[in-house]
């Protein structure tokens, strides 16, 4: 390999952004300054929705704000120092969702995005334009330019948008399954399959396997691109010691019949040596005992510290993932 490694990361919002920050830091630590030329991030857009006339892209924004350093690290979402004046006014009008807060600065993002979409830009072009405001140090691309939803289907057949299920009901209503209407006509966004084909390594961020990585893999063409790339495909477990670190991946995994364990998630993705996707899988030191089980499925398993509690730990984890691919 000559020049910087070409890296593709598949990512959701919170776990995704922490991991992407780590990969960017690891590249910088290697003396690579033009990290955007080395690092393509393919983001889940299954969470996206229309609300009060504007287009929200929660995972795209989580990653953008985190890379720009303008995210609210305490709350875990949105912009730091945001206010909610417009949101209060929307509530007075009875517009939007009473349980869903739209920050004022955040709304600025949504208005800009919606305006450009209305002018005819594709989501890929909008993200490209939004990436110019701050030096993100990555090439950010949506999984697809087609509108795809993530719907939670309850036992009684009720269908809720993922954002309603999560922000209103805090994932307390047991799902019977998930649906991504629109996915069958989705195509990977421009450059996604090319980036995967030309990569030296593809990293599956420790994001929610069902509602973050799941929709990306369900875009027709992405799975084939991952199976056929000469790059190593390396995943990082979002499950540590049988528990999710943040969020509701445990509830999602249970709904699709996958145990909340690092080994079960690896089995869910499967081995590329078989009919799955992974060449290697990083598990936490707490899950050391599962290494043999993962290896038994034809996936090289590596034990590493998986807690992304600060920038240095996230960078060390990213370095371990790159190392697993020999890049
Ligand atoms: P969302 O789109 O905001 O839900 O975020 P993601 O799907 O990207 O990430 C959620 C997942 O990240 C959850 O399953 C968490 O278990 C995982 N996660 C969060 N923080 C960490 C961490 O520090 N280490 C690891 N290994 N996983 C984490
Ligand atoms: Ca998300």
Q: How many Å apart are CA 256 and CA 15, to the nearest integer? A: 20
Q: Work out which ligand 1 atom sits closest to the CA atom of 12.
A: 8
What tens digit of pLDDT does each residue of 132-156 get? 999 999 999 999 999 999 999 999 9
With a 6 Å cutoff on the Cβ, whether 46 touches ligand 1 is no
With a 6 Å cutoff on the Cβ, whether 4 touches ligand 1 is no
Q: What is the mean pLDDT of the chain?
A: 97
pLDDT beyond 70 at 175: yes
Name the pairing type of β-strands 300-303 and 39-43.
Answer: unpaired
pLDDT beyond 70 at 34: yes
Contact status, residue 57 vs residue 48, Cβ threshold 8 Å: yes
Nearest protein Cα to ligand 1, atom 6: 207
User: Biggest alpha carbon distance in the chain?
Assistant: 59
**287 alpha carbon, closest ligand:** 1
Q: How far is the CA of 178 from the centre of ligand 2 (A)?
A: 14
pLDDT beyond 80 at 309: yes
DSSP string computed for 63-110? HHHHHHT-B-TTTSSSBTT---HHHHHHHHHT-S-TT----HHHHHHH
What tens digit of pLDDT does each residue of 184-225 get? 999 999 999 999 999 999 999 999 999 999 999 999 999 999
Q: How many Å apart are CA 322 and CA 312, to the nearest integer? A: 15
What tens digit of pLDDT does each residue of 89-116 get? 999 999 999 999 999 999 999 999 999 9
pLDDT beyond 80 at 292: yes
Q: Which two tokens stand for residue 203?
A: 């990293």
Q: Please, what are the domains in the chain?
A: 7-147+182-324 (3.40.50.10680)
What tens digit of pLDDT does each residue of 73-84 get? 998 899 999 999
Instruction: Report the candidate in 276, 179, 286, 274 with the shortest Cα–Cα distance to residue 235.
Output: 276
SS3 256: coil
pLDDT beyond 80 at 2: no
Tell me the best of 59, 63, 206 to mutate to test the pocket of ligand 1, counting ligand atoms within 8 Å of each CB and taking the most.
206
DSSP percent split of the chain into helix, strand, coil, nearest 5:
40, 20, 40
Q: How many Å apart are CA 143 and CA 46, to the nearest integer? A: 9
Q: How many Å apart are CA 12 and CA 135, to the nearest integer? A: 20
**Helix or strand holding residue 36 (H, E):** helix 35-38
Q: How far is the CA of 88 from the centre of ligand 1 (A)?
A: 30
Q: How many Å apart are CA 122 and CA 116, to the nearest integer? A: 8
With a 6 Å cutoff on the Cβ, whether 127 touches ligand 1 is no
Q: How far is the CA of 73 from the centre of ligand 1 (A)?
A: 14
Half-sphere exposure of 193 (CA within 13 A, CB side): 14
pLDDT beyond 70 at 1: no
Contacts of 307 (CB under 8 A, 6+ apart): 240, 245, 284, 313
pLDDT beyond 70 at 315: yes
**65 alpha carbon, closest ligand:** 1
Q: Which two tokens stand for residue 271?
A: 């081995």
């Amino acid at each position: 390999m000559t020049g910087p490694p070409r890296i593709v990361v598949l990512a959701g919002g919170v776990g995704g952004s922490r991991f992407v920050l780590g990969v960017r830091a690891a590249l910088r630590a290697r003396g690579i300054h033009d990290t955007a030329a080395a690092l393509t991030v393919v983001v889940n857009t299954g969470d996206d929705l229309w609300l009060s006339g504007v287009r929200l892209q929660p995972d795209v924004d989580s990653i953008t704000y985190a890379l720009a350093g303008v995210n609210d690290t305490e709350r875990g979402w949105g912009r730091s120092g945001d206010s909610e004046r417009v949101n209060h006014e929307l509530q007075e009008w009875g517009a939007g969702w009473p349980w869903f807060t739209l920050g004022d600065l955040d709304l600025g993002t949504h208005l800009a995005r919606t305006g450009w979409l209305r002018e005819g830009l594709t989501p890929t072009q909008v993200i490209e334009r939004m990436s110019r405001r701050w030096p993100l140090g990555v090439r950010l691309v949506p999984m697809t330019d087609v509108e795809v939803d993530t719907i939670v289907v309850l036992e009684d057949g009720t269908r809720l948008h993922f954002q309603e299920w999560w922000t209103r009901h805090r994932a307390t209503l047991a799902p019977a399954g998930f649906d991504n209407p629109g996915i069958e006509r989705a195509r990977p966004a421009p450059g996604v399959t090319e980036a995967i084909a030309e990569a030296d390594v593809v990293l599956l961020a420790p994001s929610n396997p069902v509602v973050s990585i799941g929709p990306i893999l369900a875009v027709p063409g992405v799975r084939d691109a991952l199976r056929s790339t000469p790059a190593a495909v390396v995943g990082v477990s979002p499950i540590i010691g049988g528990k999710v670190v943040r969020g509701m991946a445990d509830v999602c995994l249970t709904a699709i019949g996958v145990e909340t364990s690092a080994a079960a998630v690896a089995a869910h993705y499967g081995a590329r040596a078989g009919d799955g996707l992974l060449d290697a899988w990083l598990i936490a030191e707490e899950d050391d005992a599962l290494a043999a089980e993962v290896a038994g499925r034809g996936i090289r398993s590596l034990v590493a510290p998986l807690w992304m509690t600060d920038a240095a730990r996230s960078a060390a984890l990213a370095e371990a993932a790159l190392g697993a691919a020999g890049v």
